[in-house]
Structure 1
């Protein structure tokens, strides 16, 4: 799949992969990073790598891939910079928290659909729906 990327994308892909290895190696040995940086950087870089490998078939929809990359960066940065505030107001999320979370979940679902397939997305959607509306189905 790496061979299907153009030269610039191959350099970006390789650079991000090396960055991920170096970041976690340095963080494990010398410079410990906070939780939000570990999780946020992992999610953001992984999302970019998956969107690069499993790109849209249509040339015009390729723009959507870049929009998803930017949106995933925005959601991750929001989470990283508001990590403590989000933790302190757990259960009392703001409307912006909910919107950013919904965008992040939808991007995650799209990435899962591309990488694993529709069956995984259906199972995940059923679990999300049950998590939200499960209280109305106590016998299940």
Structure 2
């Protein structure tokens, strides 16, 4: 058994989650939260619990399959909780967990940045696509 210095142990711990490595769990999580439906769903849930049908209406153009898949992924990752209330019809509510709420400032900032700078991005795209 080889012994390691404290510096070596710190270096190993620091590289345990290196998102630049394809197999890194942190990279997989970044892939998940970078998904457009994830960011929109998290932002939509910022105001509190919502029913599936309300989320579906709010996230214009998302298919039922994609919304269901997105919410299941978020639930699996501990970002969203799902509450089923037995009734006729069954009521299903989705809500951000404490972990999901901790992601809100980042998601809101990205959404805000996109809305604020869309005109500049559109102008850059137009200039780039213009014939030389």
TM above 0.5 = no
Structure in which a larger fraction of residues adopt helix: 1
Larger relative strand fraction: 2
